[in-house]
Amino acid sequence: MKVKIINGTIITPYRYIRDGTILIENGIIIGIETRDMDFPDSDVIDAEGHYVAPGFIDLHIHGGGGHDFMDGSVDAFLKIAETHAQYGTTAMVPTTLTAEKEHLLETLDFYEKANAANANGAQFLGMHLEGPYFALSQRGAQDPRYIRNPDPKEYEEVLAYSNSITRWSAAPELPGAIEFGKRLKQKGILAAVAHTDAIYEDVLEAYENGYTLATHLYSAMSGVTRRNAFRYAGTIESAFLLDMDVEIIADGVHLPAPLLKLIYKIKGPDRIALITDAMRAAGMPEGESTLGSLKNGLKVIVEDGVAKLPDRTSFAGSVSTADRLVRTMVNMADVSLLDAVRMATATPARIMGVHDRKGTLVAGKDADIVIFDADIRIQRTIIKGKTIYLNAIPQI
Ligand SMILES: [Zn+2]
């Protein structure tokens, strides 16, 4: 199985290689060349002058194509993976919502079956449990019925149940949250601060004990607060001040341009991961939808390119796809295409610990590749050397 990609502008993503060539054998990149090369017996993909970049890696995603990872089926997992692959995502971390323990365990079961069956969608990089250990005051669209404090008896059972958890988000100021972070660190699971009212002192202690990522920065998270006359730095300021990674919902709605620019200015492209945080309505027409499981999820309304609670007081997840994140950073935040791609590829790969095989176009890594035009519209998605999506609309 040999493939050669020619006639594209390669985004490595540390530089452009114009008219570059990528050589692929058995799903692995074996060469990045600055000119066309002989590669006998290979299939040739003509990039037609488009950009050729690493596939996008989405660290935080709940659904798409009408499905949610908590729907309770293998089919839902596969359909979400296939839907987002059409928008350039080649790897993702399926994410749960706050729920009862039994529902989480069941979702982990479906994850494992879906992971084994996933042949035509974005690859899965383990599960992200978002909650249920959150601050009630910062619940956002998380169902308050299921929010609780960390309980070692419960999380030890969950950790013993499945080896598929690679990330877990919690509020660090809750009783038991530091112990929980230490335990995640021990298990090699990425711990993230989320849905939190923490002040700097809480976040510092959390950071020192395993929490290295801020979940959807600015969303459901404390900023500067006052207690009587005195000001306290919140989680946002802590994420800026400490050497932490941040992820941002760069759909162009959750964060306005000045905040995107501020985050980029302070953290830079090597500390920022672009995430969709997409719910089931991603890749679907606007209108009514459900956040979380069909059985006991929350009714939401999708309008203005985002999901909202019915009373419109809060966003209820995004309907973004990965191509839109990159487009937003370029068009709204005035970030270079190289840096925008990096925040969707190399940086999330490093944060997830898969940078040895994903996130950049270099020899030895998986041939997860996306080809897109000047408007960052996806033309072709390739996973491990195999084309799994091809835009059938003829180019004008
Ligand atoms: Zn989420």
How much distance in Å is there from the Cα of 228 to the middle of ligand 1?
33
How much distance in Å is there from the Cα of 280 to the middle of ligand 1?
12
Q: In this predicted model, what pLDDT tens digit does every residue of 64-102 receive, in sequence order? A: 999 999 999 999 999 999 999 999 999 999 999 999 999
Residues 6+ away with beta carbon under 8 Å from 331: none
How much distance in Å is there from the Cα of 146 to the middle of ligand 1?
15
How much distance in Å is there from the Cα of 80 to the middle of ligand 1?
15
How much distance in Å is there from the Cα of 277 to the middle of ligand 1?
5
How much distance in Å is there from the Cα of 217 to the middle of ligand 1?
11
How much distance in Å is there from the Cα of 38 to the middle of ligand 1?
46
Q: Residue 396: is its pLDDT beyond 80?
A: no
How much distance in Å is there from the Cα of 265 to the middle of ligand 1?
24
Contact 15/338 with Cβ under 8 angstroms?
yes
How much distance in Å is there from the Cα of 44 to the middle of ligand 1?
39
Average pLDDT score, the chain: 96
Q: Is 17 left (phi over 0), alpha (psi -120 to 50) or beta?
A: beta
Which pair of tokens denotes residue 46? 């003509």
How much distance in Å is there from the Cα of 61 to the middle of ligand 1?
6
Query: What are the beta bridge partners of residue 17?
Result: 10
DSSP 305-319: TEEE-TTSSSEEEE-
The count of residues in the chain is 396
Q: In this predicted model, what pLDDT tens digit does every residue of 325-379 receive, in sequence order? A: 999 999 999 999 999 999 999 999 999 999 999 999 999 999 999 999 999 999 9
In this prediction, residue 395 carries a pLDDT of: 52
How much distance in Å is there from the Cα of 39 to the middle of ligand 1?
44
Query: What are the beta bridge partners of residue 67?
Result: 64
Q: Residue 239: is its pLDDT beyond 90?
A: yes
Contact 147/98 with Cβ under 8 angstroms?
yes
Which CA distances in Å does 273 have to 62, 90, 175, 292? 16, 15, 29, 23
CA dist 62 and 176 (Å) reads 26
Which pair of tokens denotes residue 14? 């540390």
How much distance in Å is there from the Cα of 22 to the middle of ligand 1?
35
Q: In this predicted model, what pLDDT tens digit does every residue of 211-228 receive, in sequence order? A: 999 999 999 999 999 999
Q: Give the DSSP H or E segment for 179.
A: helix 177-186
How much distance in Å is there from the Cα of 309 to the middle of ligand 1?
14
In this prediction, residue 392 carries a pLDDT of: 81
How much distance in Å is there from the Cα of 97 to the middle of ligand 1?
7
DSSP strand pairing (245-249 vs 298-303): unpaired
How much distance in Å is there from the Cα of 16 to the middle of ligand 1?
33
Amino acid at 185: K
DSSP 214-239: ETTTTTTB---EEETTEEE-BHHHHH
How much distance in Å is there from the Cα of 249 to the middle of ligand 1?
10
